Amino acid sequence: MSASSQQALPLAGMRVIDYSHFLAGPYVGRCLAALGAEVIKVERPGSGDAGRQHAWFVGDHSGYFLQQNMGKKGLSVNTKDPRGRALMKKLVDSADVFVENYRPGALDKLGLGYAELAETNPGLVYCSISAYGHTGPDSHRAGFGLIAEAKSGIMQMVGNPGEAPPLLRISLGDMYTGIHAVAAINAALLGRVKSGRGQHIDMALYDTLVSMHEYAVQCYTLSGGKEVPVQTGHDMPNSTLYGVFRAQDGDVVIAAQVDDAWKRFAALVEQTGGPAGFGTDTLLHTSAGRNAQRAGILEVVKPWVSARPVAELLKMLDGIDVPAAKVQRIDEVLADPQIQARGMVVEQDHPVLGKIRLPNLPFHMSGCDTSITQVAPELGEHNAEIAASLGFDAAQIADMQADGVLYSA
């Protein structure tokens, strides 16, 4: 991209208060920072965000915190002190967006609920993220992504029949809810242009994961309650052939569930040691036919795959345009030329740790670069800068720092 084609980041000039902790909220703040907003991470004095105590650690620094809080300014303020409350009130009145992920009602007690803040800042877009949302019989209950995964029906469909479902090992509920919150915040900011008013966005992890069902809900409702998706192990019975298979030296996924792809795949299997007629059996040329003969198909495909190394399989399948991939370890992902070409690992210069590498966000825009080079803040790192921007003079700032109203590590 030439310098002349560079545009300002789309959220440049917006001020975001990130009054959240651990994952979903901080991820929202990170995304908004990447899109150009000034994001101020507000943390409690002492321990700060609980994410600072979450592995993986390099020295005293949490990689978890570094990843989700890059690009932000750090403020640590004691809101129990009247001076801290006054500073926080000024800060919110100067903001466009407020992000929080506490249990519903918790911030109302601190004077930081939407209704109170909107009285003096009616344009504020206030985003709440919680396990169950701010309404409904479970709204008062605590919860994490794991709870939402279990409640949503997603976990029940994963794994082998008869076994307890496995942990997904990624925070699906938090991250997916977070990016939905980013979309909703941007829509509310756009709506504010016309209405002049902000609004309260109420995001729930449970809601978000239920919304992810592209098949299970309609399978149940449109069948009149007769069909309930269950665990199927390593493939999908309603999308034959689509699944995970063990090769000589690793695992591969093969997606030959579309009729044309299946015909090419079946012909290849027959030509390279499979049973005669496997590629020309017209009963298998439709999705319904393949699903009905799934067990027999797997009896052919599994040994065909297991007899070959991954590289050979991928070369063969690429040659006939059948989507396939190795099940990669994380070291293989980071070394993947495609990931490197897309800039999906961002390198930052940390003042203590030196060069650090963290996952980038998948925002690729023709007019601007959304990669964040600014590392996550130390606790209270930008206290003085933020207080000064709100009109506090040097003497007031020094007094608040001396008294611990403004706290820094």
Q: pLDDT value at position 409?
A: 85
pLDDT at 6 over 90: no
Give the percent of the chain with pLDDT over 70. 99
Q: pLDDT value at position 120?
A: 98
Q: Please list, in sequence order, all residues whose beta carbon lies within 8 angstroms of the beta carbon of residue 166, skipping any fewer than 6 positions away.
A: 158, 159
pLDDT at 271 over 60: yes
pLDDT at 137 over 90: yes
pLDDT at 1 over 90: no
Give the percent of the chain with pLDDT over 90. 97
Mean pLDDT of all residues in 344-351: 97
Q: pLDDT value at position 278?
A: 98
pLDDT at 346 over 70: yes
Q: pLDDT value at position 138?
A: 97
Q: pLDDT value at position 379?
A: 97
Q: pLDDT value at position 51?
A: 95
Residues labelled as active-site residues: 174
Q: pLDDT value at position 5?
A: 56
pLDDT at 102 over 80: yes
Domains of the chain: 3-211+341-402 (3.40.50.10540), 242-246+251-326 (no CATH)
pLDDT one-digit tens code per residue, 303-329: 999 999 999 999 999 999 999 999 999
Q: pLDDT value at position 310?
A: 98
pLDDT one-digit tens code per residue, 48-83: 999 999 999 999 999 999 999 999 999 999 999 999
Mean pLDDT of all residues in 87-94: 98
Mean pLDDT of all residues in 148-155: 96
pLDDT at 4 over 90: no
